[in-house]
């Protein structure tokens, strides 16, 4: 999904982590990371987490609130929204 607020709210209610992929749309390295993250083995490993993709150009405030300064980046949040990785 690309709905950051919805994904984190769902994760909070259901006691799940949120894996946030911060990317820059049309950036080659971000596009390659998207393909990797959508791969079967990664999907299986993250099955118990909410996954959300955030385009830094469209959602700069979200990226900033997560402390992201480079793309692509992964941020893992606990169910309460605190950064754990």
| DSSP state string for 39-82 | SHHHHHHTTTEEEEEEETTT-HHHHHHTT--SSSEEEEE-TTS-
Residue 65 has pLDDT above 90, yes or no: yes
Residue 36 has pLDDT above 90, yes or no: no
> Would you call 20 helix, strand, or coil by DSSP?
strand
pTM of the model: 0.86
Provide the pLDDT confidence category of residue 22 given band limits of 50, 70 and 90: very high
CB 20 within 8 A of CB 66: yes
Average pLDDT on 12-39 reads: 90
Residue 38 has pLDDT above 90, yes or no: no
Residue 14 has pLDDT above 90, yes or no: yes
Provide the pLDDT confidence category of residue 75 given band limits of 50, 70 and 90: very high
Q: Determine whether 15 is exposed, middle or buried from the number of CB atoms within 10 Å of its CB (0-12, 13-18, 19+).
A: exposed
Average pLDDT on 29-34 reads: 87
């Amino acid at each position: 999904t690309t709905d950051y607020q919805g994904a984190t709210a769902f994760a909070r209610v259901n006691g799940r982590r949120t894996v946030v992929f911060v990317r820059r749309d049309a950036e080659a390295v971000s596009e390659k990371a998207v393909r990797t993250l959508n791969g079967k083995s990664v999907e299986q490993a993250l099955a118990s987490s909410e996954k959300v993709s955030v385009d830094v150009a469209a959602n700069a405030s979200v990226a900033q609130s997560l402390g992201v300064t480079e793309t692509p980046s992964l941020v893992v949040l606990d169910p309460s929204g605190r950064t754990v990785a």
